[in-house]
């Protein structure tokens, strides 16, 4: 797939071991992260010998211990690990005193400013349905996810306000990441997603900063072949469903990127297929896009493919492209074959059955 060919890896050094943090967190994370671990182990000597660190985080841990992200987990990731895999987190819709999402906190602690989510249709699609091969590049540290909210009382009763933060620095970094991905893809097309017709200050800054990336001295003409388009976020979602083939790389602030990538999953069959990485300049953490799915947790029917694909993306980002391709190709074969799939894809297989079939193909 084009994304896989275009991926720009972190520079690698010679390693005798590859130290990987495993953070299952909540719900089906405890079922899909072990599947991703098995896929990594199946690679054998094509990667450095993996060493795994099982780490705590999540709402379930918070309910037991009173903290969602233990300091020990952060320190092990920073000081012991080369990379990590995160499962899924339960985020209650009501306010819970003392609780804050550990995945949001980890992105900030490790400066994982880019959330990269490829959405690729593998199974053959009917002729009337265009093929889907796009990448959502989501800024990962700002927007409304800074979680600065206040509740006050005014003359009309309760008033809730949230601060939305967009900075030039964060917008430039995510813009550079998006352009780097776009320039390596065959179509070389980038769409900036915003709502600057209403949010002229915040989205205006995001839009202008990303547009200015090709003019930066470090770009030096390297990005001249990239075609840049813009789309308002509401119409972008509409067009995503009507004509997904127009999109190649989409770059967006945090909230828009979250919504768009989840919506795009519907185009390829299931959230259980969509991988992602949270990437910074020195660390990468794979994370399936799906949530903790408490309704199916413990039933052994969770789709492990997004987590397995996230492991492959993580390895590709570290420079192990051939090993990543073995995992990706194995997953593609299982999907195309169609006999051993979990219920979200219309099958009846168990999580462990799908995992075993992928391992056999690796």
Count the neighbouring beta carbons within 10 Å of the beta carbon of residue 305: 31
**Which position among 61, 113, 145, 247 bears the catalytic label?**
145
Asked if residues 77 and 84 have their Cβ atoms less than 8 Å apart, the reply is: yes
**Which position among 195, 203, 247, 350 bears the catalytic label?**
195
Count the neighbouring beta carbons within 10 Å of the beta carbon of residue 266: 12
**Which position among 111, 262, 332, 353 bears the catalytic label?**
262
What torsion, rounded to 10 degrees, do the Cα atoms 18, 58, 281, 71 define? Answer: -80
**Which position among 180, 203, 248, 258 bears the catalytic label?**
258
Nearest CA among 40, 70, 177 for reference residue 115: 177
Q: What are 71's two structure tokens?
A: 């300091």
Instruction: Give CA–CA dist 38/278, Å, rounded.
Output: 21
Active site residue 99: no
> 161 forms bridges with which residues in the sheet?
150
> C-alpha angle 65/150/258, rounded to 5°?
70
- DSSP tally for the chain: helices H, then strands E: 12, 12
Asked if residues 142 and 174 have their Cβ atoms less than 8 Å apart, the reply is: no
Q: Are strands 149-154 and 157-162 parallel, antiparallel or unpaired?
A: antiparallel
**Which position among 225, 234, 281, 322 bears the catalytic label?**
234
Crossing angle of the two packed helices 168-183 and 202-211, in degrees rounded to 10 = 40
What is the sign, positive or negative, of the torsion defined by CA atoms of 314, 317, 319, 320?
positive
> CB within 8 A of 215, min separation 6: which ones?
none
Active site residue 262: yes
Find the radius of gyration of the CA atoms of the chain: 20
Ranges of H-type helices in the chain:
2-6, 29-41, 59-65, 71-79, 102-109, 168-183, 202-211, 233-242, 254-265, 305-317, 321-337, 351-361
DSSP label at 11? P
Active site residue 111: no
Residues serving a catalytic function are 145, 195, 234, 258, 262
């Amino acid at each position: 797939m084009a994304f896989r060919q275009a991926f720009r890896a972190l520079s690698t050094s010679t390693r005798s071991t590859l130290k990987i943090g495993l953070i299952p967190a909540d719900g089906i994370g405890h079922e899909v992260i072990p599947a991703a671990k098995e896929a990594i182990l199946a690679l054998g000597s094509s990667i450095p010998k993996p060493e795994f660190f099982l780490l705590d985080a999540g709402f379930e841990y918070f309910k037991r211990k009173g903290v969602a992200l233990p300091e020990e987990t952060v320190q092990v990731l920073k000081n012991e690990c080369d990379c990590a895999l995160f499962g899924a987190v339960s985020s209650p819709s009501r306010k819970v005193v003392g609780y804050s999402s550990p995945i949001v906190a980890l992105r900030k602690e490790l400066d994982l400013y880019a959330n990269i989510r490829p959405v690729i249709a593998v199974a053959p699609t009917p002729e009337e349905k265009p093929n889907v091969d796009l990448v959502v590049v989501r800024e990962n540290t700002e927007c409304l996810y800074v979680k600065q909210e206040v509740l006050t009382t005014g003359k009309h009763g309760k008033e809730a306000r949230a601060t939305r933060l967009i900075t030039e620095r964060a917008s430039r970094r995510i813009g550079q990441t998006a352009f780097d991905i776009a320039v390596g893809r065959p179509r070389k097309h980038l769409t900036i997603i915003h709502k600057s017709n209403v949010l002229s200050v915040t989205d205006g800054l995001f839009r202008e900063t990303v547009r200015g990336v090709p003019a930066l001295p470090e770009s030096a003409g390297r990005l001249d072949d990239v075609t840049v388009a813009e789309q308002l976020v509401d119409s972008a979602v509409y067009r995503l469903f009507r004509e997904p083939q127009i999109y190649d790389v989409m770059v967006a602030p945090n909230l828009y990127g979250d919504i768009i990538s989840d919506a795009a999953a519907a185009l390829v069959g299931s959230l259980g297929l969509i991988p992602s990485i949270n990437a910074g300049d020195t660390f990468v953490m794979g994370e399936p896009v799906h949530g903790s799915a408490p309704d199916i947790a413990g039933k052994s029917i969770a789709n492990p493919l997004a987590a397995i694909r996230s492991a492959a993306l993580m390895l590709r980002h570290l420079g192990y492209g051939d090993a990543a391709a073995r995992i990706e190709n194995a997953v593609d074969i299982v999907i195309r074959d169609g006999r051993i799939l979990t219920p979200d894809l219309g099958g009846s297989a168990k999580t462990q059955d799908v995992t075993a079939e992928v391992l056999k193909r690796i």
